[in-house]
Amino acid sequence: MFLAAGLFSGFWWLFPPGSVRVRQTLQEAAAAASFAGNEGDLGRLIKASTLAALCTEGFHIRIDLLGGIMGQLDGRDRVRGAALEAAAVCGKVSFRILDAKVKWIRGTESSANFTLTMEGCGSRDFNAQEFQATLKKIGRRWLIDRIESVHVFEK
């Protein structure tokens, strides 16, 4: 009985379900986008490259805050460059993903909603905002293909 439980746990650890891997990818992206103020150039380059590696070649992000477009990026290389620029300008930036929920997984595509918070870059605390991500499975890895702000309309 203990052997069966151990084998099941080992299999689960080596091959987690898709929803776990999707959430892990989002958490890894938030960690790679976060920079400590005392990181050197090599450390910032490694983190920016890690962030870009978690995105597809055709990656697209659109952030819309308080009704005005705050930013839009297209492509993996632009993500890497924007991350390096943000690290140089802001110094310390911290992103956290809260309550990531996988909405669906269909073959090699997935959709997830999550709440993102940010600290740093002249802002004491970024209001938590909801985003929707679309991920694609390439090989054994889930990569982020698209991120967009979710607009919540109140009555």
Sign of the torsion angle spanned by Cα atoms 90, 49, 78, 32: negative
**Residue-range domain boundaries for the chain:** 17-149
pLDDT tens, residue by residue, 136-152: 999 989 999 999 988 65
pTM of this prediction?
Answer: 0.81
pLDDT tens, residue by residue, 52-65: 999 999 999 988 76
pLDDT tens, residue by residue, 2-24: 554 444 444 444 445 678 999 99
CA distance 93 to 118: 7
Pick the CATH number of 17-149 from 3.10.310.10, 3.10.450.50, 2.60.40.1170, 3.40.50.720: 3.10.450.50
